[in-house]
Amino acid sequence: MWRITLFAMLVACVFASKKTIRPKSLGGDGQLKDRLRAKAKGWLREAKAAVSSDFEAALLKATRPDMAAPKPKHVESVALSVAAFEAYRSPDCDPYGSLLHKVWSRLHEADARTVCKACYVLHRLLSAPRAGGAVEFAGLAAAYAMLAQRSSAKTDTRYFDERPVLRLQSQKDADYDVRKWRKFVAAYWAFVDGCWRSAAAGPPATPRAAAAAAAAASALAARAALAFPDYPRANDLVASVARRLAADLDAYAAAFVVAAVAWRRPGSFSWQLAGDVAPRRRKSKRKKNRKP
């Protein structure tokens, strides 16, 4: 009985300073039950992160439902954990699929902030981990393609389907425009999902295909950048996404230039022009001056 009394006194002390309860529409914190529900969800999330593995704890902390940018140490912990997957890979254990399954569980939540941060984590994984390499990236791409063909029991759709990602709802503990965020998440997810599906298909076989892939990825990244729901200076989460998209746009521009040069000059880079016809150079009609 004394425990219940002590808990009631603690709750009363926390909210004693707030004599009047203002609704969310007037800029207040809402009803007492809404505030307690939001705090309970936060405590449950932190408790789950405390008892989970290091990787899952880092993923939960990187996708917290707030407008703060994902902490680099949490995102990098998820990325660097991929480097150890080959040591644990076996016919009975697929760490790549487990990672993508956990990220997918964050992607089909109703909170736009969590969904955006989960997209950001997948966006970061598109870059090869510092401690990993091409083998780990190929394993992730293959697992992504395999899961994309399977059905998810929680969403009644296939993995990485766009419909569950866009089932966003307004949250009582946040004040943001759901329509703007849904538009942005749709564009951002189209870019991230398109990059992973392109990576699963393998590298381009010809310079012309590489130039087309770089141009398509640049268009998707620019579309996501134009759909920002808020100014990057006013929102840390949007600013973090903007910085990574800007870096990708620079990289795609460089890749397009390299592919275009290789297409115009077949011998300049080590690409096999299988079925890709490079433009022929016109022969000069000038006559060489012959010595008598």
* Residue 69 dihedral angles phi and psi, to the nearest 5°: -70, 145
- Residues 182 and 168 sit within 8 Å (Cβ to Cβ): yes
Amino acid at 158: R
Q: What is the CA radius of gyration of the chain?
A: 25
**Residue 85 CB-density burial (10 A; 0-12 exposed, 13-18 middle, 19+ buried):** buried
Q: Tell me which DSSP letter residue 229 carries.
A: S
Instruction: For 192-241, write each residue's pLDDT tens digit.
Output: 999 999 999 988 888 889 999 999 999 999 999 999 999 999 999 999 99
Average pLDDT (144-168) is 93
**Residue 189 CB-density burial (10 A; 0-12 exposed, 13-18 middle, 19+ buried):** buried
Residues 6+ apart with CB under 8 A from 272: 205, 206
Spatial separation of the C-alpha atoms in residues 277 and 13, rounded to whole Å: 77
In the predicted model, is pLDDT for residue 71 greater than 70? yes
If you search the block for the tokens 């951002």, which residue do you land on? 188
Express the helix, strand and coil content of the chain in percent, nearest 5 each: 60, 0, 35
Spatial separation of the C-alpha atoms in residues 243 and 170, rounded to whole Å: 26
**Per mean pLDDT, which range of 21-25, 77-81, 103-107, 153-157 is the poorest?**
21-25
pLDDT at 136: 84
Instruction: For 191-202, write each residue's pLDDT tens digit.
Output: 999 999 999 998
pLDDT at 132: 59
In the predicted model, is pLDDT for residue 271 greater than 50? no
Spatial separation of the C-alpha atoms in residues 226 and 242, rounded to whole Å: 10
pLDDT at 263: 75
**Residue, of 101 and 175, whose pLDDT is higher:** 101
- Domains of the chain, CATH where assigned: 42-203 (1.25.40.90)
In the predicted model, is pLDDT for residue 80 greater than 70? yes
In the predicted model, is pLDDT for residue 246 greater than 90? yes
